Homo-oligomer: A and B are copies of this chain.
Amino acid sequence: MSIVVVGTVAFDKIETPFDKTDKILGGAGTYISLAASHFAENINLVSVIGGDFPDEYLSIFRKHKINIEGLQVKPEGKSFYWSGRYHSDMNSRDTLVTELNVLADFEPILPESYQSPEFLVLGNLTPRVQMQVLDQLKKRPHLIVMDTMNFWMDTAWDDLMKVIARVDVLTVNDGEARQLTGEYSLVKAAQKILTMGPKFLVIKKGEHGALLFNKESVFFAPALPLEEVFDPTGAGDTFAGGFIGHLARTKDISFDNLKNAIIYGSAMASFAVEKFGTEGLIGLTQEIIDERVRLFVDLVQFDISLVNN
């Protein structure tokens, strides 16, 4: 199996009602590839960093056997930097700083060995960059997963539509599904999005779980009710990483297995939010992950005997 992950590698500085960090390792590409590394090997990261990026962080990727040949280093530049402050509900946040730095003129380059991946995740980035990645593929992957956000709907609609038309799975949150379609009902929004190109749609609802749609079916996975949400940063990207990791591990893209992938993604996201930054994704074992998945089984399973079942 092989996965290419395209997404930001960044510094994050995070404030919550309980604590705050200095600049720590962040970025969509970081969360996606770290989460996926617990399931699959041959994960290939495409991103860009500046000369300020510490080797200590690079060794985290190496330790998780994530290939960083496609991680461009711009020695004269500074890495992408984001800072945010969470409100007391931990669901909404204010962005305090966004410094694009080397991300501003990022031109993704897929090394030769990246050009025929079995799975591809396009993390949230400008649609133009996502498109440049698609254009460098030598053959179509088994599955292309794409994340995006409301900002690109506001500023790059036409490009966004072109990328969406070329992917298999789109992941958005509930507000973005509504913005993308003008439909308030998520069921109606999903039906519309599934005419835009993707065969599958994941609607992420944060603490309220996630929905998976194809044209015929819908599946729902709750978020795990936690005593404490410590830092929601990267939860959606971690979810995507667990999702693609499970699919790559099993090489099965049936709807039934996508449901399982959603559960693994949700389990990984529950680890991410328990600690600051990527800390919750470090030191996990398959046993710990399976134990977490078992909590999801217990959380939703019920046994009703229906006549004519």
Residue numbers of A with Cβ under 8 A of B are: 88-90, 184-188, 205, 208-209, 211, 217-222, 225-229, 256, 259-260, 262-263, 290, 293-294, 297-304, 306-309
A88 to B300, CA, bound (A): 30
Minimum CB distance partner of A223 in chain B: B220
CB distance from A171 to the nearest CB of B (A): 17
Chain B residues within an 8 Å CB radius of A262? 302
* Docked-complex contact B304 and A185, CB < 8 angstroms: no
A294 to B217, CA, bound (A): 13
CB distance from A24 to the nearest CB of B (A): 24
Minimum CB distance partner of A259 in chain B: B302
Other contacts beyond A219-B302, A220-B300: 8, CB < 8 A: A222-B222, A256-B302, A259-B302, A260-B303, A260-B304, A290-B307, A294-B306, A300-B300
* Docked-complex contact B304 and A227, CB < 8 angstroms: no
Indicate whether A263 sits within 8 Å of B226 (C-beta atoms), given known contacts A208-B205, A208-B208: no
* Docked-complex contact B225 and A220, CB < 8 angstroms: yes
CB distance from A220 to the nearest CB of B (A): 5
Among A89, A188, A302, A309, chain B packs the most CB atoms within 10 A around the CB of A302
Tell which of B88, B302, B308 touches A184, judged by Cβ atoms closer than 8 Å.
B88
Minimum CB distance partner of A185 in chain B: B227
